[in-house]
Chains A and B, each alone.
Chain A
Amino acid sequence: MGAMTAVTLHINGERFSRELDNRTTLLDLLREHAHLSGAKKGCDHGQCGACTVLLDGRRVNACLLLAVSMDGTDVTTIEGLSDGNALHPLQQAFLDHDAFQCGFCTPGQICSAVAAIAEARAGWPSVVTAQDEPEGPVELTAPEVRERMSGNLCRCGAYVNIVSAVREVAR
């Protein structure tokens, strides 16, 4: 084992504290140490988006972050989105629109969509809106959704339904 460091963070509102090998990624912290296996490891190299979680409200690829640098942060995973028994609106929309098949990409897609909608509401331009310098919320048209969700691969090819699920919630 290599050098260890103590790290404390909040995961889905609960305090989590652990001494970890410095090389541990946030994704492995979640999956192996916190036993939250909702975030998926599709590539471990930042290429597929299956590990997307929310870090202080912003979406990140958990496989690209070192756990020891997460001290004091707030992490939300797919398991933290639903409120008790009620599904998060995006979870419900993915279900209703059949926006997945195998579902392996789905936790990442949904976390990514949660942040994408928040970013658009906050008026953050995407590359495709940049030319128009928007003021106020950006409308999530189909091209906007595609652009903002382009970091999340879906091999089952449920993209058409992902676009409609995200747009429904964004409205």
Chain B
Amino acid sequence: MGATRIPGNITQGSTAKGGIGESTLRPDGTLKVTGEFAYSSDMWHEDMLWGFTLRSPHAHAEIKSIDTSEALAQAGVYAVLTYDDLPTDVKNYGLEIQDTPVLAHGRVRHHGEPVALVAADHPETARRAAAKIKVEYVQLPVVHDEQTALAEDAPLLHPGRDDHHAGHVPHPNVVHRQPIHRGDVAAARARADVIVSGEYVVGMQDQAFLGPESGLAVPAEDGGVDLYIATQWLHSDLRQIAPVLGLPPEKVRMTLSGVGGAFGGREDLSMQIHACLLALRTGKPVKIVYNRFESFFGHVHRHPAKLWYEHGATKDGKLTHMRCRIVLDGGAYASASPAVVGNASSLSVGPYVIDDVEIEAVALYTNNPPCGAMRGFGAVQACFAYEAQMDKLAAELGMDPVEFRRLNAMSQGTLLPTGQVVDSPAPVAELLRRIKAMPLPPERQWETAGESADVRALPGGLSNTTHGEGVVRGVGYAVGIKNVGFSEGFDDYSTARVRLEVVGGEPVAVVHTAMAEVGQGGVTVHAQIARTELGVTQVTIHPADTQVGSAGSTSASRQTYVTGGAVKNTCEAVREKVLELGRARFGSYHPAWATAELLLESGKVVTDGGEVLADLVEVLEGEAIDLELEWRHRPTEAFDLHTGQGNGHVQYSFAAHRAVVEVDTELGLVKVVELACAQDVGRALNPLSVVGQIQGGTTQGLGLAVMEEIVVSKEAKVRNPSFTDYLIPTILDTPTIPVDVLELADEHAPYGLRGIGEAPTLSSTPAVVSAIRAATGLALNRVPVRPEHLTGT
């Protein structure tokens, strides 16, 4: 074993083949199944130190003093850093608003906020030394909900705000507010035969990626630092890290290490700056690995939300209007709150046609844990509420809930509340039809030939709490809409570098991007695209790093679309260069070089008629073609701050779910028997991966429906930071998930594809809750649904 472990060739040992549309295997899969894949927590350097973060035990307090002397005096301790040790004037960071202190300055605003750092020769030494840092706190009143946040005399989380939202918000404890007005709600409301309203609550969900935050910072001789890290967006990290360190960006060299899941939780920084600060201070490599407890404090969560909705409909089942108010708790720092507000407001109407709407979404600053990106953000919360409303309306009208939805479903050409036209297929009614047409799982599967019941098929399972008595089946449906890519005028682009050369007598393509592979299969797709566009078999995926331009974030379902699009675009440019070379070398031998449409296939230049003109190896003849190009999707625009109008989104993704549950109504136990999904993916570049993404998203939605919630006390303290108290679905909780994939091409997108990762997370949750409502007759306006909500105890 060498003294250093850093990310290497992730395609090692892979024999994956195949172009787009094929279910090729992951090029990094061989390393993942052999245990050799180097995750961020596996990074290793000889003589490295271990970093530890001292965090605030209080949600809101003034820091009177910090005494680090005893900690520093411990044997094996190399450095103890506080706010006073930060090297430059840049002491905050943040995705959009730089309001997050690298280390607390005079005040802590949430439970678990970083206060000091320790580097020591052993993780335990670092932890013990941190415990010897004396911090004198004076606790302050806590802002923990809308009422306490918006009170006139409310303590301000960020007094003297000067960010770009500060000028238009109604209260300084509101991060961002987005209203949307369209049509004439009063007139439309007067046409309604039925009106239903409700208040809905979504609990705080955690990404709970299995590989905790971790990384290794290695100081370099040029005064810079090399950082090996698990993240979703290397260049966004870099933009935030470098100024705090006082280094030019080129001296902070970042390389993506193995990422043990992300789901939005790695969009913000965690230990990146901390490790670099300690490494630069000590002159030694520093590794930081959060344990599971710390991980619950180390990243932002899904915004908990309160949503008030009113819908009206005519007797014949046509929606008349919608009014809603969505309040998202952003916690102590802004993180992605503004974008979450944008999504929640602009998608609050769901995949339905409603011409008359009044919408308002706000995100609050509170002393609760900071919230930001999690799979489907903003749209997940809204979907739970509007789908509950759809069921209520259908019931009120005596209509079938699926038929009612189909009657009001949006389609291509529908005008959104923002005034934007949906200009690609929107097969909402078709997805609902398909999901309803799927065969239902057999009833009473616990009944056996003998006398005993098969408890595995019952709620409560092996706890043997029922043999079928009190068990009621329920079936529920839901459908949702998610935007794909970064919206609201953000310059959303990706960079791809592609090198084509002959190695060992065979043409080989090297694809180099900064895309964070977090498990979504982006590297699989990149290799497929290169094979298809360049006609090669051998594709090497270069480790993602900051030596190439930004690939944007692995979030917003955007990577296959945008970085995939960038890889395709660069490959096309490389192909043009190949053909230029070919024309120069062989053009005179065959007229087709000048006249025919030429392709690269199976290592050859061929005409579109299939005639072979030359071998790629001969054309290249020892030359390497190496191009790096940026590619961007169609521009979007910001929503008007008063009317909410604007072409804010570039693409949408639709999924529908049918949930079948069995509920032990006496004990309030739920077994999800089946969770079927139909989704339009535009074009499945890799059908195997597509189904895996849909099943994974569906499972996380199930978690939010019946088990996952970070419990925060009135004092704004996190009560359950462990896997024994924060439950995520196990293999036993996960039902069969049949998936029906529809492929209606979006003509604006590369290959017609649609970003797919988030949509299944939206509709899964409301479908499960709808099924539980059907089984129990209860209103259930809150997720997660707990046993006590079903038993009333």
A residues whose Cβ falls under 8 Å from a Cβ of B? 23, 31, 35-45, 47-48, 50, 77-79, 81-82, 87, 91-92, 94-96, 98, 100-107, 110, 127-128, 131, 143, 145-147, 149-150, 152-163
- Interface flags for B287-300 (1: CB within 8 Å of A; 0: not) read 00101100000000
Tell whether B585 is near chain A: CB-to-CB under 8 Å: no
Measured between beta carbons, the chain A residues less than 8 angstroms from B38 are 37
A50 and B295 CA atoms in complex are apart in Å by 16
Chain A residue with minimal CB distance to B761?
A157
Q: Please give 8 more A-B residue pairs, beta carbons under 8 A apart, in addition to A40-B39, A147-B456, A160-B695.
A: A37-B35, A45-B722, A78-B34, A79-B36, A94-B33, A103-B519, A106-B32, A163-B731
Q: Do B32 and A154 have beta carbons less than 8 Å apart?
A: no
Tell whether B736 is near chain A: CB-to-CB under 8 Å: yes
Tell whether B260 is near chain A: CB-to-CB under 8 Å: yes
Tell whether B148 is near chain A: CB-to-CB under 8 Å: no
Tell whether B208 is near chain A: CB-to-CB under 8 Å: yes
A50-B210 in contact given A91-B33, A156-B696 (Cβ < 8 Å) = yes
Q: Give me 20 A-to-B residue pairs in the complex whose CB atoms sit less than 8 angstroms apart, sorted by A's number.
A: A37-B41, A41-B212, A42-B292, A47-B722, A48-B210, A79-B36, A91-B33, A92-B33, A95-B29, A95-B33, A98-B26, A101-B519, A101-B520, A102-B259, A104-B260, A128-B455, A145-B731, A146-B731, A157-B729, A160-B736
A101 and B693 CA atoms in complex are apart in Å by 8
Contact of A158 among B289, B692, B736 (CB under 8 A): B692
Measured between beta carbons, the chain A residues less than 8 angstroms from B26 are 95, 98
A37-B42 in contact given A48-B210, A78-B35, A103-B37 (Cβ < 8 Å) = yes
How near does chain B come to A161, taking the closest CB pair, in angstroms? 6
Measured between beta carbons, the chain B residues less than 8 angstroms from A37 are 5, 35, 38-39, 41-42, 44
Measured between beta carbons, the chain A residues less than 8 angstroms from B519 are 100-103, 156
Measured between beta carbons, the chain B residues less than 8 angstroms from A42 are 210-212, 260, 292
Measured between beta carbons, the chain B residues less than 8 angstroms from A95 are 25-26, 29-30, 33
Chain B residue with minimal CB distance to A79?
B35
B-side binding surface: helix, strand, loop or mixed?
A: loop
A162-B731 in contact given A40-B41, A43-B292, A106-B32 (Cβ < 8 Å) = yes
A77 and B44 CA atoms in complex are apart in Å by 19
Q: Do A159 and B292 have beta carbons less than 8 Å apart?
A: no
Q: Do B41 and A103 have beta carbons less than 8 Å apart?
A: no
A159-B211 in contact given A42-B292, A44-B292, A79-B34 (Cβ < 8 Å) = no
A38-B35 in contact given A101-B261, A102-B519 (Cβ < 8 Å) = yes
Which of B380-388, B423-431, B485-493, B697-705 contacts the other chain? B697-705
How near does chain A come to B709, taking the closest CB pair, in angstroms? 16
Chain B residue with minimal CB distance to A107?
B35
Contact of A161 among B34, B44, B263, B692 (CB under 8 A): B692
Q: Do A104 and B692 have beta carbons less than 8 Å apart?
A: no
Contact of A43 among B5, B263, B723, B734 (CB under 8 A): B723
Q: Do B209 and A102 have beta carbons less than 8 Å apart?
A: yes
Tell whether B724 is near chain A: CB-to-CB under 8 Å: yes
Q: Do A45 and B723 have beta carbons less than 8 Å apart?
A: yes
Contact of B292 among A47, A98, A156 (CB under 8 A): A47
A158-B722 in contact given A100-B32, A102-B518, A106-B33 (Cβ < 8 Å) = no
Chain B residue with minimal CB distance to A92?
B33
Measured between beta carbons, the chain A residues less than 8 angstroms from B42 are 31, 37
Measured between beta carbons, the chain B residues less than 8 angstroms from A153 are 210, 723, 728, 730
Contact of A159 among B210, B457, B699 (CB under 8 A): B699
Measured between beta carbons, the chain B residues less than 8 angstroms from A107 are 35
Tell whether B462 is near chain A: CB-to-CB under 8 Å: yes
Tell whether B521 is near chain A: CB-to-CB under 8 Å: yes
Measured between beta carbons, the chain B residues less than 8 angstroms from A45 are 292, 722-724
A87 and B520 CA atoms in complex are apart in Å by 23
Contact of B35 among A39, A96, A157 (CB under 8 A): A39
Q: Do A131 and B452 have beta carbons less than 8 Å apart?
A: yes
A35, A100, A155, A163 — most chain B CB neighbours (10 Å): A155
Measured between beta carbons, the chain B residues less than 8 angstroms from A78 are 33-35
Measured between beta carbons, the chain A residues less than 8 angstroms from B730 are 150, 153
**Size band of the B side of the interface?**
35 or more
How near does chain B come to A117, taking the closest CB pair, in angstroms? 15
A95 and B30 CA atoms in complex are apart in Å by 7
A153 and B539 CA atoms in complex are apart in Å by 32
A91 and B37 CA atoms in complex are apart in Å by 13
Tell whether B437 is near chain A: CB-to-CB under 8 Å: no
B30, B35, B289, B734 — most chain A CB neighbours (10 Å): B35
Within 8 A of A (CB), among B452-475: 452, 455-457, 462
A113 and B690 CA atoms in complex are apart in Å by 25
Tell whether B347 is near chain A: CB-to-CB under 8 Å: no
A98-B33 in contact given A48-B210, A153-B723, A153-B728 (Cβ < 8 Å) = no
Chain B residue with minimal CB distance to A165?
B33
Measured between beta carbons, the chain B residues less than 8 angstroms from A127 are 462
How near does chain A come to B205, taking the closest CB pair, in angstroms? 12
A43 and B292 CA atoms in complex are apart in Å by 5
A96 and B688 CA atoms in complex are apart in Å by 10
How near does chain A come to B495, taking the closest CB pair, in angstroms? 24
How near does chain B come to A145, taking the closest CB pair, in angstroms? 8
Q: Do A35 and B211 have beta carbons less than 8 Å apart?
A: no
Q: Do B210 and A155 have beta carbons less than 8 Å apart?
A: yes
Measured between beta carbons, the chain B residues less than 8 angstroms from A91 are 33-34
Within 8 A of A (CB), among B249-290: 258-263, 289
Measured between beta carbons, the chain B residues less than 8 angstroms from A96 are 25
A39, A45, A103 — most chain B CB neighbours (10 Å): A103
Q: Do B210 and A105 have beta carbons less than 8 Å apart?
A: yes
A101 and B33 CA atoms in complex are apart in Å by 11
Q: Do A102 and B210 have beta carbons less than 8 Å apart?
A: yes
Measured between beta carbons, the chain A residues less than 8 angstroms from B289 are 41
Measured between beta carbons, the chain A residues less than 8 angstroms from B258 are 102-104
Tell whether B737 is near chain A: CB-to-CB under 8 Å: yes
A43 and B290 CA atoms in complex are apart in Å by 10
Contact of B260 among A40, A157, A159 (CB under 8 A): A40
Measured between beta carbons, the chain A residues less than 8 angstroms from B698 are 157
Within 8 A of A (CB), among B205-223: 207-212
Contact of B692 among A98, A152, A163 (CB under 8 A): A98
Tell whether B689 is near chain A: CB-to-CB under 8 Å: yes
How near does chain A come to B637, taking the closest CB pair, in angstroms? 34
Measured between beta carbons, the chain B residues less than 8 angstroms from A155 are 207-210, 261, 263, 700, 728
A98 and B723 CA atoms in complex are apart in Å by 25
Q: Do A103 and B32 have beta carbons less than 8 Å apart?
A: yes
A42 and B209 CA atoms in complex are apart in Å by 9
Contact of B695 among A48, A77, A157 (CB under 8 A): A157
A143-B456 in contact given A95-B29, A127-B462 (Cβ < 8 Å) = yes
A28 and B526 CA atoms in complex are apart in Å by 36
How near does chain A come to B135, taking the closest CB pair, in angstroms? 26
Measured between beta carbons, the chain A residues less than 8 angstroms from B462 are 127-128, 147
A127 and B723 CA atoms in complex are apart in Å by 23
Q: Do B35 and A43 have beta carbons less than 8 Å apart?
A: no
Query: Top 3 nearest A-B pairs by Cβ distance?
Result: A38-B35, A102-B519, A157-B699
How near does chain B come to A149, taking the closest CB pair, in angstroms? 5
Chain A residue with minimal CB distance to B208?
A155
Chain A residue with minimal CB distance to B42?
A37
